[in-house]
Structure 1
């Protein structure tokens, strides 16, 4: 057959190019879950790490003229995952993709958003410049530690919030006499949105941290927790230290059960033991991160934000508004708990 005579009828063509979703080695499980919601197959790709540490990526499908989404977080190992993301974007652009959206569930360098000490780098700005330099057309992410990072980009950034999903999970628990707690003033504005969704009052912790290495200390709690059940909310946790300190502060002031939730459970080595031994009855996190240096603590539970990412991706692909997903109440019946089994790992060459 003469292939030059075969074409797709104009009425059957996607005016924005066929959508292709790829998963990097950091976020393969979340990418598969997103594809299940969208009813599409995860596009084929390959990642290798050679013996000297070099990262190699290869696109195994035709992406010319396609609308490409690459799902790749920047959790541990942070720099390897970041470099892999940059290589993916470069590969898609060189393969003539129409648009490349970097779906970054967890933006690791978001804490480096300002020059608050002499002679330091504004790391988040460097990452933004790097993503633009390799050709990213837009970014889709969730719960940036500093929302103003969106202003570092010259390309569109769609910023999703896990709050509606996390609060839906706890609304399903029907916890009586509940108050929502922000561990510090910096998170109070976001915590107020959680409190509004839970229809509960807000209390705030007065936190101090002497330097980068010292653990956080809760000096005081603004608000009444005596006889109340407390839900501590935050955007991420690395060691669990801030959540645990806030839990102890609430307990010492007469609180009953302590719950906590975070968008991103980063969890460094040794955190599981501390979280298990803490007053926190249940710590809920999302699947923006899926790999840790050790198993999660027994009182940790994971719920999926894949449906939210899927809705955002289809909205971007169809050139529709994404803002409708911000702070919209999620039906508790739609909450999905993550399975314990890990997805198949990527191809590694050592």
Structure 2
């Protein structure tokens, strides 16, 4: 029997604009679908076209409303499965529950593993995501996981600012390895913040800056920010150590409302973020630049669909993606 090979892209309610960017890159129409939110909070999803024997890609970040986003995604996968889709690939630019990657205190859930089990059990065949909080989360899944990186996209955009005398700064030792990738890409030295987090309040104390930052411009890099607390504290520590202008590159930014105002009042001159999570309409574009990674995910989809290697996208991405 001949397989239907056309790519079918659908979107959940969290990532409509992101999915549109993917479809524009691939020059294909968005799949027809419907989401209804009932008054008591119940979610209804419907695929409004035939997907029998088709390879389907559902785009949904687990982002600004993670519980609703996750449940809706599970319903989408189930809908495609019951409609006899040939395969179901989840395009999840941001996986919020990746932060729950370990049992580091008594009587707590390993939330990322619970989510992985749920996605698999309902029928997902493959996951494509970006900048997981911990790479080992790929091991929570028995299905293939393609783990993309925002670093090449963010670095390419940052280089256009023409900042000289630069040092890359990791906010803590845990992110030092990724910060080293940034420093290698930009051909600059690296420094590390010594961070201490005492509880789950989303606030961390910066104890020391390890490395030479005096008289240099600094680029703080991190995988996500919820309150901007860590990067702002690092920025203050850098100023105390004699750093000049301070910038930031963050893969997933969930700043809004008061946390956005907190960032605007910080020493950080400019922050580059991706569109893995939908950004507020009223952001100050002089302070926050949104770099789209939809083309990166579109390229990954194209390669997966045509049974080609995705490895090249991890470190060196095609010019068309920038």
Answering whether residue 131 of structure 2 is matched by residue 143 of structure 1, we say: yes
Q: In 2, Cα distance between the equivalents of 1:275 and 1:330?
A: 32
- Contact kept in structure 2, 1:273 and 1:297, CA below 8 Å: no
Question: Is 1:227 the counterpart of 2:218 in the alignment?
Answer: no
Alpha-carbon distance between aligned partners in 1 of 2:260 and 2:99, rounded to the nearest angstrom: 23
Q: Does 1:25 align with 2:13?
A: yes
Unaligned runs of 5+ in 1: 1-9, 336-350
Q: Quote the Cα distance in structure 1 between the aligned partners of 2:22 and 2:317.
A: 20
- How many angstroms does 1:329 deviate by? 5.4
Change (3 A) 1:327 1:16: farther
Cα distance, 1:320 vs. partner? 1.1
Query: What whole-Å deviation, never above 9, does each CA across 1:109-167 have from its counterpart, x for those lacking one?
Result: 00101110000000000000000010000000000001100000000000000000000
Number of positions where the alignment pairs a residue of Structure 1 with one of Structure 2: 321
Separation in 1, partners of 2:304, 2:247? 35
Q: Given that residues 61 and 93 in structure 2 are in contact (C-alpha distance below 8 angstroms), is that contact kept between their aligned partners in structure 1?
A: yes
Q: 1:199 aligns with which of 168, 187, 193?
A: 187
What root-mean-square deviation, in Å, do the aligned CA atoms of Structure 1 and Structure 2 show? 1.5
Which residue does 2:24 correspond to in 1? Answer: 36
Q: 1:236 deviation in Å?
A: 0.3
Distance 1:214 1:142 in 2: 22
Asked if the contact 1:197/1:329 (under 8 Å) is kept, the reply is: no
Report the counterpart of residue 256 of structure 1 in structure 2.
244
- The answer as to whether partners of 1:47 and 1:55 remain within 8 angstroms in 2 is yes
Cα distance change of structure 1 residues 256 and 68 upon mapping to structure 2, 3 Å threshold: same
Cα distance per residue 1:39-69 (max 9 Å; x no partner):
1011110000111111000001110011100
TM-superposition CA deviations, 1:270-308 (whole Å, max 9, x none): 11111000000001100000055x843551111100110
What residue number does 1:265 align with? 253
Deviation, 1:241, is 0.5
1:210 equivalent in structure 2: 198
Determine the C-alpha separation between the residues in 2 that align with 1:45 and 1:59. 5
Judge which range, 83-92 or 171-180, deviates more.
171-180
Are residue 317 (structure 1) and residue 294 (structure 2) matched? no
| Residue segments in structure 2 that go unaligned for 5+ positions in a row | none
Equivalent of residue 283 in structure 2, options 285, 296, 300: 296
Shift in CA distance, 112/133, structure 1 to aligned 2, threshold 3 Å: same
What TM-score comes out, normalization by structure 1 length? Answer: 0.89
Checking the alignment, whether the CA contact within 8 Å between 2:62 and 2:70 is kept in structure 1 is: yes
* CA contact 1:70–1:88 (8 Å) conserved in 2: yes
Larger Rg: 1
Report SS of the residue matched to 1:68. strand
Give yes or no for the alignment of 1:308 onto 2:296.
yes
Decide whether the 8 Å contact of 1:168 with 1:329 is kept in 2. no
Q: Do the aligned residues in 1 keep the contact of 2:64 with 2:277 (CA within 8 Å)?
A: no
